[in-house]
Amino acid sequence: MNLEKICSVIVSVYNEEDSLEPFYRHCIQSCEKLQELGYGYEIVFVNDGSQDKSAILLEDFAERDKEHVRVLSFSRNFGHEAAMTAGLDHAKGDFLVFMDADLQHPPELISEMLKKFKEGYQVVSMVRTKNPSAGLVKNVTSALFYWILNHVSPVHFEENASDFFGISKKVQEVLKKHYREKVRYLRGFVQSVGFPKTSIRYEAAARQAGQSHYSLSKLWRFSKNTLFTFSNLPLQLGIFAAICSGGLGTLLLIYTLLTRKGAPSGYATIVVVLCFMFAVLFFVIGIIGEYIAILFEELKDRPLYILSDSKNIEEDSEA
């Protein structure tokens, strides 16, 4: 590469055979324009165990443009977070842009992000103003998720920040070295590292082809894990529940002693109170279970991803 400074574009790919060709064309066009800003580029595709023709297409891109295209292939599907992490580990650029392969993240905005980086910002978050692919349920649950997360976590999360963001090499190094958690939320890590940050608002396009890989159940699992890894507050719910039930018991005791009247007797009352108490108890046990599951994942220390193949990647950057 002739230009000294490089912008790395990291693209996660899972079964995107219909989007890849248009994405690649569009991305190259936008990246060529980075020369005007004094930057060369590399595109790091991470093939997350695709079962369709994505692997063949990526191999063809790597063959066609050995200078700019790099491909990392996983031995199986490890998930979007792992794919982004592999890109993070192998990108060589001074500025790194993470984006999806389905053209929901407009490549023409890469130059705007780079301009912000050149102004001195180390983190550039891309905030969606509109997401045509998300239905009412996804929009409402997403707003609720951010509301809860921002109320229980000490870190402030930008609402509607997407997996489209840019970071400097300095932030990359921090994330590579210190954020090796197995239960991951890279977008959240990026927002929690500090450093000068800014955001750009953009309108997400509709998916180029195919369907979202994030089903509601996957989103639920992801949101739950994020909440638990960014906050210890749910663990204190047990104490809160104990204070509430203890307080209620004490009030009932005082009332009984003062009026010398027993609480309303009857089977239904006892069953309702018991069910309620057990529900609270099991809920608290469930939350502890969730934390133990996360601890167990971390303790096992299994690899975040396993590479089966790579193209145009320098030896020394192999993980």
- Positive or negative, the CA dihedral 251, 256, 261, 266 is positive
Among 7, 9, 12, 121, binds ligand UDP (CB under 6 A): 12
For ligand UDP, which stretch binds (CB under 6 A), given 77-85, 142-150, 263-271, 302-310? 77-85
- Under the binding rule (CB under 6 A), the answer on residue 83 touching ligand UDP is yes
What are the C-alpha distances in Å from 298 to residues 76, 150, 182, 295, 306? 20, 24, 6, 5, 17
- Positive or negative, the CA dihedral 90, 92, 98, 102 is negative
- Under the binding rule (CB under 6 A), the answer on residue 97 touching ligand UDP is no
Residue 73 binds which entry of ligand UDP, Mg ion, none, with Cβ cut-offs from 5 to 8 Å by kind? none
Q: Supply the minimum distance, in Å, between the C-beta of residue 196 and ligand UDP.
A: 27
- Under the binding rule (CB under 5 A), the answer on residue 104 touching Mg ion is yes
Q: Supply the minimum distance, in Å, between the C-beta of residue 27 and ligand UDP.
A: 12
Among 7, 20, 91, 101, binds ligand UDP (CB under 6 A): 101
* Residue list 111-170, contact with ligand UDP (CB under 6 A): none
Distance, CA of 111 to CA of 125 (rounded, Å) = 14
- Under the binding rule (CB under 5 A), the answer on residue 89 touching Mg ion is no
Among 104, 125, 208, 225, binds ligand UDP (CB under 6 A): 104
Q: Of 12 and 229, which CB lies nearer to ligand UDP in the complex structure? A: 12
- Under the binding rule (CB under 5 A), the answer on residue 16 touching Mg ion is no
Q: Under the rule (CB under 6 A), what is the footprint of ligand UDP?
A: 12-14, 16, 48, 77, 79-80, 83, 100-102, 104, 212-214
Q: Under the rule (CB under 5 A), what is the footprint of Mg ion?
A: 100, 102, 104
